Structure 1
């Protein structure tokens, strides 16, 4: 869609009342690393004391050692300044090492936490969320927090300690000059907080824009996206759309970097001019007959003042950075706070040996609580162990939804689904995954080798087991004919293999898993009839001896099913064998006649 070339006028937001709670939550991320942070605090304190000592050494050099010609004292004081510099450097390196390590651990905890949370989300979440948005939260948002997490905590402690130590030292030198130096600090703090609030708002907008761009890249530059764009002649319009999104990001980046830049520059100019003010104040005090201030005191004080201004400016900048990062933390916390509708039971029921009896007991389901009607209602079906049930019906009748309830991709809204008499909601995810295998029309293969894709089902599978599963799935001969055999890369989403070959690889993967219950969700509907016959042979091999529920599009594949359930409007309209349902001349018979008209005959 076309975008405007300008961004709307924006006014700084009011302070966020939830910000203190958010800051406390961020601080809790560092709780596991308290010991290391305490060590960083000790190093910071040591470094601050060393830095403050240097101006006092300089004062003694200028006021005592040089005027009195005390060479030994001069050498000792000069050596002390060198030692202080060396110690400051060592403390700084150690401080950076520890704080960076802690920061990276926190980043790791955040990334892992978000990924684990997304793994627990129901399938409905991913059907409503763009893939690029999810990737942007993990990559861009967490990546954008890196500087804050790895260095900000240390910077705050270090600079705050330096400021306190320096102010104390300045007071010890001359309290009058100290007051002159500190007069403008409250104004500087107010300016920095105002700038921080501006940047936080802009950063939130910027991250949303980056997420939109990531989603467009993921969708349009995938193999499927490229094929669709080229065949539809939309390559130029997609490029223009991306350019518009990128142009919007340019404006936000400029606004983010320039927000408050003149105000912060003014602070820098004022602080740079302060030494001149101190020299002027000291000169005026002496010219009007006030208490004298030695040259060494003035030079040491200016040195301390510069040592004060540097951490003060850094603290102000850090405050701006923290407020900016709050927008990123907020986006991450949004994902961490997502409610996982499908939870693993606290005390799962063990199933030592799964027979494979599956029952649907008065099952109802709706995708949204406020939906106008249920997708499924009053489903009562029994699939004995080792038998087969085929589910047919028009598009939108609830066939796929019914199949998704068995492996708990969704939970029934009412009633229950059981395996061997146990509600699937009472089984652990591992038990359920071992008990139920799914082969769907949408086959997913990773950009990895054939062997790695197969071992995704069973990581410890031997080469012999891989070959056995591939032979059962009627795909071994093709794999063996490839130059790299089982080490062949399948390409993104398996595009180096045909649709039928991808399905047979998926079947081989499920054979390795060896589940007692099998869900076949229109596994051959996307294939031509000749390829379907080859894949059907692999499916027959896979289904042997298992409880099989087949979601069927082509009725020719389910004639031999022990039971056929016809769904219509979310409920079971007919149930019986192929011959019984044909004899009844109802909905199923109508579907068979339609299927015969639309599917060409195949000779083999």
Structure 2
């Protein structure tokens, strides 16, 4: 699947439905962490106010020392009553400044604790809630999304929110306190010179506004390209064995280079915008400082002509020093405002993706008052079932199952047979309610699956797929997955039933052997037998075997089949198999073709009919020359349809 640079973000459809994502972040998650927020805010305000005290004291000390008409006082606080001599005034000012630094360090620690706690708790809650939502989504959603894209939301986007809530919020409140505090001090000293210092603020605000408008769509492109890059890398690393065996390393390197170039182009576009913005902002900020220094310096000259230009009043040396020190602390933080906006825009784009994903409705809905499924006899009935993936979303949606009906008695084994794409696995997905039927009903012991709770339904069904998945961990952990409280004896019995105990004992650490990522350290047959043991240990009322022996050799298949015969003796069993020899003893065989039931009966009955099942049996018996031409032609058409569908998927 080639990913073009113009491809849309796969989450565009969900992002468009999200309103005010950042406000929602604070409303839904901030309220539970208000104490940490309050601590961080208090620490920020106190620490920054204490940071402003040393420059002010320095100016007061300079004026009190070098200008006799200036009293040594801090606003309404008459410090001269406690230190009347210049030496004692310097010592007192030094002591107060040192105390401010020490106290400020304590508040800086409180500030950092508060913001980090606030951000980390929200990050944890958002990530776990997003993952929980992912687990609840209908399988249709995953058909359009790749693992790398989903991981990008859980990892990159959630981490971006944490960085803004910690660094961004910290910086924003620091900036707010500095701007308001410094503005108040400057206006208190000399409102005219304060206006000179603040003259660049409107220009900075307009410059920042233009930056926001320009950078926002660029960050959306970056987020999209990151998801595509992650998907390509995850796809290739998962298929590295196929890449090596087909000698396609150079081809895949080119594909990775393409998506990496897309990311490079999108990211470099955002970087170019940033690197133009921040130097420009510093020039504006520097201009404010230069003008303040020029006007204030001329104004404060001891032998100068007094207030320059149209200004009035006086400006002492100490006041000029305060202006110079605080204007630096005022102007340069203003230049950092762009960094905060930059972080906010990144967090905004990430919040859209996170909440967009959270808002995706799960198509499988459970009634609030739904009772648990009660399985007594284990009878399963499909009644006039029709179904299509994404039905109703597009006018040309293809129907997968069309008016399918059959009943399997409790304790019987029903086999589903048919060509590839006939709908066999879809029938099983409807039984486990991975999807809901479009028409008709699926019932267990006369209970409509849509009327019972999902956990009770799926607890009653054991499923062994043809695509065996093992989690990273030990053999024992994989067998007990879903039945976590099983004893060692129960685990061993389940493994024996699946013909897995013998090979497990020969592993380096037995049942404690690590199976590797997706069970890579085991053979396909070994993985399959562990999956069967997992289902056996669950002891379900209904058992589903979807090509359960497809990855084992003939000898192992015979051993597993012998155990499965015992396992299925007293429970309702569904078996899907292309290898018809494994299901010929089933109580009932349902033959599907193009989503419809075309034959239904026992093995011998279907052979006598001489229909599709008999022809499939002949194929596996090697009697190809005796097959009717109509069957061969139909098989050719089905193969062409399958190839066309695969090609369409590759182009998506």
Instruction: Answer whether TM exceeds 0.5 for this pair.
Output: yes
**Change over 3 Å in CA distance of 1:598–1:427 after alignment to 2:** farther
Q: 1:494 to 1:263 in 2, by over 3 A?
A: closer
Using structure 2 for the length normalisation, give the TM-score. 0.85
Q: CA RMSD in A?
A: 2.5
After TM superposition, give the deviation of residue 18 of structure 1 in Å: 9.1
Aligned to 1:84: 100
Match 1:349 to one of 356, 371, 383: 371
1:96-126 Cα distance to aligned partner (Å, 9 max, x none): 1111111111111221122111101122222
Q: Does 1:140 align with 2:165?
A: no
Q: Work out which of the residue numbers 256, 260, 275 in structure 2 matches 1:246.
A: 260
Which residue number in structure 1 is paired with residue 336 of structure 2?
314
Q: Distance in 2 between matches of 1:217 and 1:263?
A: 33
2:123 to 87, 90, 107: 107
Worse-matched range after superposition: 132-141 or 165-174: 132-141
Is 1:337 the equivalent of 2:359? yes
Superposition deviation, residue 434 in structure 1: 1.2
User: Is 2:608 the counterpart of 1:583?
Assistant: yes
Determine the structure 1 residue equivalent to 2:72. none
User: Cα–Cα, structure 1 residues 449 and 285, in superposed 2: closer, same or farther, change >3 Å?
Assistant: same
Residue 218 of structure 1: CA displacement? 1.3
Kindly report which structure 2 residues correspond to 1:195-234, keeping only aligned pairs within 5 A, or say none. 195-222=211-238, 225-234=239-248
Partner of 2:508 in structure 1? 483
Number of residues paired by the alignment? 589
Greater shift, 372-381 or 173-182, is seen at 372-381
Report which stretch shifted further, 407-416 or 426-435.
426-435
Q: 1:405 aligns with which of 430, 443, 446?
A: 430
How many Å separate the matches in 1 of 2:520 and 2:589? 34
1:190-241: CA deviation from partner (whole Å, max 9, x where unpaired):
112222333332222222222222112211112xx12211121101221232
**Structure 1 segment 358-369 matched on structure 2, within 5 A:** 358-369=380-391
Aligned to 2:400: 375
Q: How does 1:40-51 map to 2 (within 5 A)?
A: 40-51=40-51
Offset of 1:542 from its aligned partner? 2.8
The reply on whether 1:54 has 2:42 as its aligned counterpart is no
1:254–1:583 Cα change, 3 Å: closer
Tell me how far apart the structure 2 counterparts of residues 184 and 19 of structure 1 sit (CA, whole Å): 36
1:298, CA displacement in angstroms?
0.7
Task: Return closer, same or farther for 1:582/1:214 CA change in 2, 3 Å cut-off.
Answer: same
Deviates more, 1:343-352 or 1:433-442: 343-352
Aligned residues of 1:201 and 1:327 also touching (Cα < 8 A)? no
1:457-516, CA deviations, whole angstroms, 9 ceiling, x for partnerless residues?
311212111111111111101111222111112223223222222211111011111110
Q: Structure 1 stretch 320-329 or stretch 526-535: which is displaced more?
A: 526-535
Using a 3 Å threshold, how does the CA distance of structure 1 residues 148 and 597 change in structure 2: closer, same or farther? same
Answer yes or no: is the 8 Å Cα contact 2:497–2:564 preserved in 1.
Answer: no
1:151 shift after superposition: 2.2
User: In structure 2, how many angstroms separate the alpha carbons of the residues matched to 1:397 and 1:52?
Assistant: 76
Q: After TM superposition, list the pairs within 5 Å mapping 1:535-550 onto structure 2.
A: 535-550=560-575
TM-score with structure 1 length normalisation? Answer: 0.91
Residue 257, structure 1, aligned to residue 271, structure 2: yes
The correspondence for 1:149, drawn from 158, 165, 175, is 165
Map 1:392-541 onto structure 2 (within 5 A): 392-541=417-566
Residue matched to 2:644: none
Residue 25 of structure 1 aligns with which residue?
A: 24
Extract unaligned runs of 5+ from structure 2.
8-14, 69-84, 308-312, 625-652
Q: Structure 1: how far apart are the matches of 2:170 and 2:151?
A: 29
Structure 2 distance, partners of 1:569, 1:468, is 40
Per the TM alignment, residue 314 of structure 1 is displaced from its structure 2 partner at its CA by 2.6
Partner of 1:11: none
- CA separation in 2, counterparts of 1:462 and 1:72? 80
Report the counterpart of residue 294 of structure 2 in structure 1: 280
Deviations 1:342-372 (A, max 9, x none): 1233222124555422111221111122344
1:241/1:587 CA distance change after superposition, 3 Å = closer
Deviation at 1:255, TM superposition (A): 2.9
CA contact (8 A) 1:567 1:574 kept: yes
- Return 170-179 or 103-112, whichever deviates more: 103-112
**Shift, 1:388, TM fit:** 1.3
| 1:548-593 deviations in Å (ceiling 9; x for gaps) | 0112212211222111112223222222222222333333323322
Q: Deviations over 1:133-185 (max 9, x none)?
A: 21222222223333212222232223212211211111101000111011111
Contact kept in structure 2, 1:437 and 1:517, CA below 8 Å: yes
SS of match in other structure, 2:43: helix
Q: Contact (CA 8 Å) 1:457, 1:512: kept in 2 or not?
A: no
Structure 2 distance, partners of 1:353, 1:575, is: 25
